[in-house]
Amino acid sequence: MDGISLAQLSRIMLHGIALVLGSLGVFCLYCSCFGAHLAQYAIFCLGTATGIIVASDSEKRAGR
C-alpha cells in the first residue's frame, strides 16, 4: 500500500470519524437551547470523539 500500513490507515480513518463526531457534537451543543435531546447528542458525540482521540494517541505514545 505504498508505505502506509494498515495500522496507520485505520488511525487516519478513526481520526476522520472523530472529526465528524466532534463537529456534530459542537453543532448539537450550539443548538441545545432548542431541547434537552440535542444536549444529550452533544455529550455523546463529543465524548465518543474524545475517546477515539485519546485511545489512538495512547497507542502512538506506546511506540506501536
Give pLDDT tens digits for 18-42: 999 999 999 999 999 998 999 999 9
Q: What is the pLDDT of residue 1?
A: 54
Mean pLDDT confidence for 51-57: 90
Q: What is the pLDDT of residue 5?
A: 86
Q: What is the share, in percent, of the chain residues with pLDDT greater than 70?
A: 86
Q: What is the pLDDT of residue 56?
A: 86
pTM of the model as a whole: 0.79
How big is the CA angle at 15 (ends 24 and 36), to the nearest 5 degrees? 20
Q: What is the pLDDT of residue 39?
A: 94
Question: Which residue carries 440535542 as its cell?
Answer: 38
